[in-house]
Amino acid sequence: MEKTVRILNEEGLHARPAGIFVKKASEFSSVIEVRSGGVSKNGKSIMALMGLSLEKNAEITLVANGPDAEAALKALSELVEKKFQV
Amino acid sequence: MKLLGKSASHGIVVGRARVVLSEALKIEAHLIADVEGEIRDFRAALARAKIRLEAVRDRALKTLGADKAAIFEAHLLILEDPELVDTTEHMIRERSLNALASYSHVSQAAAQLFDAMDNEYMRERAADVRDVADRVLRELAGVGVADLSELQDEVVLVCRDLAPSETAAMNPAKVLGILTDLGGKTSHTAIVARTLEIPAVLGLRHVTELVKTGDWVAFDGETGEVEINPDEPTRARYLQRQEHAKREKLELRALVGQPNLSADGIRAELVANIGSPLDLAGVLNYDAMGVGLYRTEFLFMDRLEAPSEDEQYHAYKTVLEGLAPRPVTIRTLDVGGDKPLAYLEIPKEDNPFLGYRAIRYCLEHPDLFRTQLRAMLRASVHGNLRVMFPMISSLEELLAAKEHLEAVRRDLLSKGISVADEIPVGVMIEVPSAALISDVLAQHCDFLSIGTNDLIQYTLAVDRLNDRVQHLYDPFHPGVLRLIRTTIENTRRFGKKISMCGEMGGSDLHLPLLLGMGLQEFSMAPTSILRLRRQLRGWTLAEAEQLAHEVSVQSSSRAIESVLIRARARKSVQGDLKI
């Protein structure tokens, strides 16, 4: 299953927000992918996410596959929408 | 032996050197028979590196604060990154290649991906990847990282350069000072040294070869002078200055939170000169009432293209927000042939200080200029912004610069982007012609700020960087002081604010003179604020005016300097002891 969200925080997906995202994603056993501009990256890898170089207003699609996919998508999309405030 | 390096963090230090060099790491590739054993070794190395890195993070949390410790959270995630780990294990399995060579290859490739990105921030992340990779490789090879966390005695660290994780791991209580071969004022080591208030001189090139562990070293972090194995009198002089500095620091700390008032209650603004959002901590720590000069050129240096509007906006916003409601004076780009930025295509000039620089360049490159102005105005709603134009020499230049500012403001408002209602606009007085027409300029702006470093060099026709004429560079010259007096009087006559940035603004010797001339705002290095506050509190306005009069009737620099030194001594307020 998948869900599309928009990056809202000013600095985009820099090290700090990418780190927060990866930590959250790693709590789930599902495979998590982040798709943007035709590329799909491992959502549990900070290197892969920073490599996407996503700026504010970029649209990304979160894809989750596995037993806790629904919970993972909900938690991660909320995280992005709340500008990675935890 | 005497060396001269780059001043990075102020302070006087005398102590024994501890030369710290990491053992060289050799990466050799070979085939392995026991693949599973190699993978176990790799995972064990990752686990050991993780334990050490967590210790670094915990120490950084305590000594540097959560903000700077955050980078080590990112390092931990890089360490355990599934892409790096899985790719390495895959390579070990598929190619029967040893873990050291496999991980080295994979981490290098990852770092190079960041190197290639078109975004400065991301390019800097390559250094993080290499820092983490170095830890893992050293664990794998059994070659230790220089361990700074277990220093027994107080030492002066002498090293090639310090990686972020090394500076965070060191126990600052044991580090008297830092000397390095590499690096400069804006390098990571310099910033950390200033944050921890450890004196440092960087960029000494061969100091690790010239100094041995156990040697005596004495240095001045402000001038960049370093003495290796100084003779007894030199060492005694440094020790005396060090003692004096220690006592003074304690005395000055007591002035934090006190108002900037003269003995008879006249208020002066003592504000800070900064070069980046990283200097915010110093501004707050030394209790500056705002920023009188934010030099934006550092944002433009050491890179391949100009910073984007957004990148500038973030930097300006961070400073404005961090200090609100205190005023922050941002100076527009001040570059020229002396500090060439490749992408600006300013040609090398024979005489860059009289050349194509600062406002002259900006007015001919409206895209660059307006991008910066837009970033400033967008950030203006987050604090108390003032805009200042450098190197103005005529009214026409000021009017042209103001037109750009107004056009940008109208454009932002028409797009529904908010801009602060009142943004004071000011002119830096650095060129003698500007000082002489300061009455004209004052009628077309809200404040003037005297930039003494350039004003002195232009008034006396002395190139600051030319050793042969350095002795003619003279902040007591009556001609310079007359121009300053004229500027102050002209500005106040039209009810505008008058400020000073540059070295003289932070000189405790000049403070009573300038106060007596009518200067209202003094902008200086954050570390000078408390010393000037103490000086200010010792003077009444009438005494300062009397001193200004006494100075105005002297005819030579030497006479003026001695009047000021006697005046300071009368107040028995000691300045910095000079050797």
Chain A CB within 8 Å of residue B29 CB = no
Residues of B in contact with A16 (CB under 8 A): 70, 74
Query: What stretch of H or E contains B531?
Result: helix B529-537
Share of chain B above pLDDT 70, in %: 94
CATH number assigned to the domain comprising residue B187: 3.50.30.10
CATH number assigned to the domain comprising residue B59: 1.10.274.10
Chain B CB within 8 Å of residue A35 CB = no
Share of chain B above pLDDT 90, in %: 63
The verdict on residue B40 lying in a domain is: yes
The verdict on residue B261 lying in a domain is: no
- B77 to A42: CB separation less than 8 angstroms, yes or no: no
Q: Which residue intervals of B232-308 are DSSP H helices?
A: 232-253, 280-285, 297-300
Give me the domains of chain A, ranges plus CATH numbers: 2-81 (3.30.1340.10)
Chain A CB within 8 Å of residue B125 CB = yes
Minimal-distance CA residue of chain A relative to B125: A15
The verdict on residue B258 lying in a domain is: no
The verdict on residue B227 lying in a domain is: yes
Chain A CB within 8 Å of residue B97 CB = no
Chain B CB within 8 Å of residue A67 CB = no
Residues of A in contact with B73 (CB under 8 A): 19
Q: Which has the closest alpha carbon to B180: B152, B196, B203, B213?
A: B203
Residues of B in contact with A42 (CB under 8 A): 82-83
The minimum CA-CA distance between B129 and chain A, rounded to whole Å, is 9
Domain match, B101 and B183 both: no
B449 residue type, one letter? S
Residues of A in contact with B78 (CB under 8 A): 46-47
Chain A CB within 8 Å of residue B129 CB = yes
Q: Residues 60..79 of B with a Cβ closer than 8 Å to A: which?
A: 70-71, 73-74, 77-78
The minimum CA-CA distance between A20 and chain B, rounded to whole Å, is 9
Count: domains in chain B: 3
Domain boundary among B100, B125, B141: B141
Tell me how crowded residue B116 is: count the other CB atoms within 10 A of its CB.
10
DSSP sequence for B386-453: EEEESS--SHHHHHHHHHHHHHHHHHHHHTT----S---EEEEE-SHHHHHTHHHHHTTSSEEEEEHH
Chain B CB within 8 Å of residue A48 CB = yes
Domain match, B136 and B160 both: no
Choose, out of B83, B114, B115, B312, the residue to mutate when testing the contact with A (most A CBs < 10 Å).
Answer: B83
Q: How confident is the model at residue B165 (pLDDT cuts 50, 70, 90)?
A: low
How far is B16 from B18, CA to CA, in rounded Å? 7
DSSP sequence for A31-57: EEEEEETTEEEETT-HHHHHHT---TT
Domain match, B550 and B439 both: yes
Domain match, B180 and B134 both: no
**What is the predicted pLDDT for the residue at B578?**
37
Minimal-distance CA residue of chain B relative to A31: B82
Domain match, B554 and B428 both: yes
Residues of B in contact with A44 (CB under 8 A): 82
Domain match, B354 and B489 both: yes
Which one from A8, A9, A14, A75 is the annotated catalytic residue? A14
Domain match, B136 and B182 both: no
Domain boundary among B121, B141, B161: B141
The ipTM, to two decimals, is 0.85
**What is the predicted pLDDT for the residue at B344?**
83
Chain B CB within 8 Å of residue A46 CB = yes
Domain match, B190 and B209 both: yes
The verdict on residue B275 lying in a domain is: no
- B81 to A11: CB separation less than 8 angstroms, yes or no: no
What is the mean predicted confidence (pLDDT) over B275-279?
A: 82
**Burial of B386 (C-beta count, 10 Å sphere; 0-12/13-18/19+):** buried
- B82 to A44: CB separation less than 8 angstroms, yes or no: yes
Contact predicate B514/B262, CB 8 Å: no
Domain match, B311 and B389 both: yes
Does a cis peptide bond (omega within 30 degrees of 0) precede residue B325?
A: yes
The verdict on residue B194 lying in a domain is: yes
What is the mean predicted confidence (pLDDT) over B254-273?
A: 95
Domain match, B181 and B126 both: no
Domain boundary among B116, B141, B166: B141
Q: How confident is the model at residue A53 (pLDDT cuts 50, 70, 90)?
A: confident
Domain match, B161 and B126 both: no
Digit-coded pLDDT (tens) for B210-256: 999 899 999 999 889 999 999 999 999 999 998 988 888 889 999 99
* pLDDT, mean over chain B: 89
The catalytic site residues of B sit at: 188, 501
Chain B CB within 8 Å of residue A6 CB = no
How does B408-421 read in b/e, with b if 16+ C-beta sit within 10 Å? bbeebeeeeeebee
Residue B503 clears pLDDT 60, i.e. is over it: yes
Digit-coded pLDDT (tens) for B429-486: 999 999 999 999 999 999 999 999 899 999 999 987 677 887 898 999 999 999 999 9
Contact predicate B369/B404, CB 8 Å: yes
Domain hosting residue B219, numbered range: 2-21+148-250
Digit-coded pLDDT (tens) for A5-49: 999 988 788 888 888 899 999 999 999 999 998 889 999 999 889
Contact predicate B4/B226, CB 8 Å: yes
Domain match, B56 and B156 both: no
The verdict on residue B268 lying in a domain is: no
The verdict on residue B337 lying in a domain is: yes
Digit-coded pLDDT (tens) for B532-573: 999 999 999 999 999 999 999 999 999 999 999 999 988 864
DSSP structural state of residue A70? H
Q: What share of chain A is helix, strand, coil (3-state, %, to 5)?
A: 35, 25, 40
Instruction: Say which of A16, A45, A48 has its CB closest to residue B70.
Output: A16
How far is B553 from B550, CA to CA, in rounded Å? 6
Q: Does B289 or B149 have the greater pLDDT score?
A: B289
The minimum CA-CA distance between A46 and chain B, rounded to whole Å, is 6
- B117 to A23: CB separation less than 8 angstroms, yes or no: no
User: Tokens standing for B553?
Assistant: 């009737």
Residue B416 clears pLDDT 90, i.e. is over it: yes
Is position A8 annotated as part of the catalytic site?
no
Q: Does B449 or B576 have the greater pLDDT score?
A: B449
Residues of B in contact with A50 (CB under 8 A): 114, 122, 125
